[in-house]
Amino acid sequence: MPATLADEQNHFPGLSRIGALLADPGRAAMLWALMDGSARPAGELTMIAGLSPSAASAHLARLTDGGLLALEVRGRHRYFRIASPDIAASIEALANVAQVSAPQRPVPRPVRTVPLDMRYARTCYDHMAGELSVRVFERLVEGGLLTLHGTSLEATAEGAARLADWGIDMSAQKSRRRRFACTCPDWSERRPHLGGALGAALLDSWTSHGWVERTERPRILRITPAGHRHFDTFLAREARPTV
């Protein structure tokens, strides 16, 4: 018998609920404002979303009850933040989808200035994002190690050799059930970084080499002294001249 709509919803019991939470522009504005990793008072989020206090309170309650926001009580004040790194990564992934589907409308930065450590190096799902990641991606392309075809990328022979030096098994990455390499819009830099299986493999490699470390702060990555030396050397290489 063909599956009914009710049967399909039983397979994804929370998907429509999360979609409904994100669908409201006011709730989306409040969530995006918190993507800089901050915790903000209800009053500030009310102004950002352009809502009345009563409407904002109802929206914040729905987002908290739905598991997207976490509430912190500090004295008489209530502060809200993104509930977990997974929630933040999911929101960023949806923002990237929105950017791809409507490239003429760039994804804005969160309202407050992005903290420097989050802007420099952070995780984006399972790969690295931020200023350093964008610069490395640009060097990979400008140096002729990766070739760009729309939003997809392929490694050149020279690039494959460099990736092998970093411990990347090209055959293994291409056999994964996901795109080998693709551009991923970076909301803090407004330029793409490297995503896909290759982006994830590079973060794993840099971590295993001791160049990048995860921190106690959600999504924030630390570049070790050895990592700074490695990336400075790689980025200092002259890009291959274009012809």
d(CA 130, CA 105): 20
* Same domain membership, residue 137 and residue 58: no
Is 127 part of any domain? Answer: yes
pLDDT along the chain (243 residues), means of 10: 51 74 90 82 86 92 94 83 84 74 57 69 88 95 90 88 88 77 81 90 95 87 95 76 37
The residue range of the domain holding 207 is 114-236
Residue 230 and residue 121 in one domain: yes
Q: Could you tell me if 64 and 157 lie in one domain?
A: no
What's residue 213's pLDDT? 96
Q: Do residues 45 and 30 make contact, with C-beta atoms less than 8 angstroms apart?
A: yes
| 134 lies in the same domain as 46 | no
Is 105 a member of any domain? no
Q: What is the pLDDT of residue 243?
A: 32
Dist. CA 163–CA 92, nearest whole Å: 27
pLDDT attached to residue 7: 52
Considering the domain architecture, whether residues 80 and 165 belong to the same structural domain is answered as no
Side chain identity, residue 71? L
Give the torsion sign (CA, 131, 109, 22, 73): positive
103 in a domain, yes or no? Answer: no
Final residue of a domain: which of 84, 105, 131?
84
The domain tally of the chain equals 2
The CA distances from residue 115 to 6, 72, 98, 112, 120, in Å, are 44, 20, 24, 9, 9
